Amino acid sequence: MRKLLVYLKDYRKESVLAPLFKMLEALFELFVPLVVAAIIDTGIRQGEKDFVVKMCFLLALLAVIGLTCSITAQYFAAKAAVGFTTKLRQVLFHHIQNLSFTEMDTVGTSTLITRITSDMNQVQSGVNLVLRLFLRSPFIVFGAMIMAFTIDVKSALVFVVTIPLLSVVVFGIMLISIPLYKKVQENLDRVLRVTRENLTGVRVIRAFNKEEEEMARFEEQNQSLTNVQKFVGRFSGLMNPVTYVIVNGGIIALIWSGALRVDVGILTQGAVVALVNYMSQILVELIKLANLIITVTKAVACGNRIQGVLDMEAAKESGKEDRESAPDLTGTEMPAVVFEQVSLTYQGAGARSLSNLSFQVQPGETVGIIGGTGSGKSSLVNLIPRFYHATEGHIFLNGKEIEGYSVEALREKIGVVLQKTVLFKGTIRDNVRWGKKDASDEEIEEALCISQAKEFVEQKAGGLDFFVEQGGKNLSGGQRQRLTIARAVVKKPEILILDDSASALDFATDARLRIAIRQMKHRPTVFIVSQRAASIQYADHIIVLEDGKAVGMGTHSELLENCTVYEEIYRSQMQGEVQ
């Protein structure tokens, strides 16, 4: 949590002025019991009405000054707290955007959402209260004790006993509560994860009639969160009654000893009232301090969780120069992509997902990647833009190892269409411009033509201005896939990766798409991942994967002769078409 305080540096002035004005308010508040004592001992006892009126005006003045200081302190504290969390939220979001898929898979989406929303709000509340009360409450507590000693030393000894007892209770509960509040946040993560899964997969849940099971699963997680919150609440709830008992015990002792000392003429009635007022001030401030500590313990737990995300680093540094160029490159032209003994093991996995892959791809060539489910097709292409990092071996782009590129420079050269189609709320024009933010309508239309999307876009009301709902819910699966392909094509990338991105297209549209991509003017190097042998049979090279290993490499005709796995895939699909 302490590392996060660096983001308060832009609000140094507010961080100083907020507690300063609160201290001024507290200072004026400490004078109030003395004024009340003077009214009782001088004004009321001696019947001086003018003195009483004068002291009442003084009380009103102290109240106005205190209120002004309090409002000013609140303004500066709120400005610092909101500005701090704004900066921290920006830093956290930027950091999350730079994490690789490995870290995203490890942490989980629901946890990241919790930390950028709920946890951030708790931290903001904690900073706000600390700036306003962290110095004010102890100042009043010890100031009241000092003022009590100026009135009567023997009676003030009650304060010396009461304050340490209260401190033990308050800070003891705080130390025990911090880890418990961390458990609350962890359980909240689980509830959010279940909720997100249910909302995302609502259609699948209904299709398989799993509503009752999912409701039971949610209730289990929700009850677990409730039980932890109840336990923490019961424990934290001890603070108020215990502090009330101790402080009221101190007030009883004050009245008892004060009455005896008034009876013998050592103290005045006003002095006893002032002592009781100081003890009441201590009670109020310690209750505030107790509530502050509860909020701070939550904020510290949440801040540590946020810091945990910020401490996560991508698997490898951006821009790291490992090797200048690929060794033993064949051919007269520099290869576009080279894999050299590349292996990949996902974090936490017991076995490799890819093993010892080596191949070269020349600029402008098309590479088809095929294999059974779970054979590592998507894993292979995800290594090129560094969505994941190879655990062994080297990958070269234009003769330079990809670790030598910054993430921005590397991905600027690559256009990727992932398996899962993702469209954003906005017009078709806005969605396609994700590939190139300054793309003209002519460039967008060219990309739509290549992706075979122009026909259906022209039929939509408004054309390029047709409004796409979040996730593309108002479009069919094939339409969504074609728009995501257009989004990747419009940037005219050096390398175009199509990760099973035509699965929802019919064979005729798929064939036209592949022809259009081959006829693109700038001739990108294309990687096509597909379950269909027909989609890749005309590729310059085909890589056949099985259990993460390349069991065949070559052209379609070569693989039919030399690769049993490819032959089985092709024959089974061709027979299915004939049937």
What are the domain boundaries of the chain?
2-310
Cβ–Cβ under 8 Å, residues 452 and 509: yes
pLDDT of residue 327: 47
Q: What is the mean pLDDT of residues 24-36?
A: 89
Which tokens belong to 51? 């003195």
Please give the class, per CATH, of domain 2-310: mainly alpha
pLDDT of 331:
45
pLDDT at 575: 66
By DSSP bridging, strand 354-361 and strand 337-344 are: antiparallel
Tell me how far apart the terminal alpha carbons of the chain are, to the nearest angstrom.
65
Please say if the pLDDT value at position 219 is more than 90.
yes
Mean pLDDT along residues 378-390: 91
pLDDT score of 499 more than 50: yes
Confidence band (pLDDT; 50, 70, 90) for 333? low
Q: Mean per-residue pLDDT for 19-48?
A: 87
Instruction: Please report where in the chains the tokens 């005045």 appear, as a residue.
Output: 268
Q: What is the 3-state secondary structure (H, E, C) of 321-380?
A: CCCCCCCCCCCCCCCCEEEEEEEECCCCCCCCCEEEEEEEECCCCEEEEEECCCCCHHHH
Position 29 pLDDT exceeds 60:
yes
Contact 162, 246 (CB under 8 A): yes
Whether pLDDT at 346 is above 80: yes
Where does the pLDDT of residue 221 fall: very low under 50, low under 70, confident under 90, or very high at 90 and above?
A: very high
| CB contact at 8 A, 329 and 360 | yes
Question: In this structure, what are the phi and psi dihedrals at residue 491, rounded to the nearest 5 degrees?
Answer: -80, -5
Tell me what percent of the residues of the chain surpass a pLDDT of 70. Answer: 96
Percent of the residues in the chain that have a pLDDT greater than 90, as a whole number = 37
For residues 410, 489, 393, 531, the Cα torsion angle rounded to the nearest 10 degrees is: 160
Q: How many angstroms separate the CA atoms of 243 and 317, rounded?
A: 53
Best-predicted range by mean pLDDT (37-46, 198-207, 260-269): 198-207
Whether the predicted pLDDT of 312 surpasses 90: no
The 10 Å CB-count burial string (b at 16+, else e) for 428-446 is bbbbbbbbbeebeeebbbb
Give the pLDDT of residue 234: 85
**Per-residue confidence (pLDDT) for residue 220, from 0 to 100:** 94
Residue 149 has a pLDDT of 86
- The residue that leads in pLDDT, 218 or 259, is 218
Whether residue 420 has pLDDT greater than 90: no
Considering 72-76, 250-254, 502-506, the range whose residues carry the highest mean pLDDT is 72-76
pLDDT higher than threshold 60 for residue 76: yes
Q: How confident is the model at residue 72 (pLDDT cuts 50, 70, 90)?
A: very high
Chain mean position to CA 483: 29
Residue 319 in this model has a pLDDT that exceeds 90: no
Chain mean pLDDT for the chain: 86
Q: Is the pLDDT of residue 52 over 50?
A: yes
Confidence of residue 180 (pLDDT cuts 50, 70, 90): confident
pLDDT for res 315: 52
pLDDT above 50 (res 276) = yes
Q: What is the mean pLDDT of residues 251-271?
A: 83
Could you give the CA distance from residue 569 to residue 562 in angstroms, rounded to a whole number? Answer: 13
Tokens of 485: 């392909």
For 392, list phi and psi in degrees, rounded to 5. Answer: -145, 155
CB 138 within 8 A of CB 289: yes
pLDDT(323) > 50: no
Say yes or no to pLDDT of 373 above 50: yes
- State mean pLDDT over 109-122: 86
Calculate mean pLDDT across residues 103-121: 83
pLDDT exceeds 70 at position 576: no
CA 111, distance to chain mean position in Å, is 7
What's residue 192's pLDDT?
84
Helical H runs in 201-268? 202-207, 211-236, 239-263
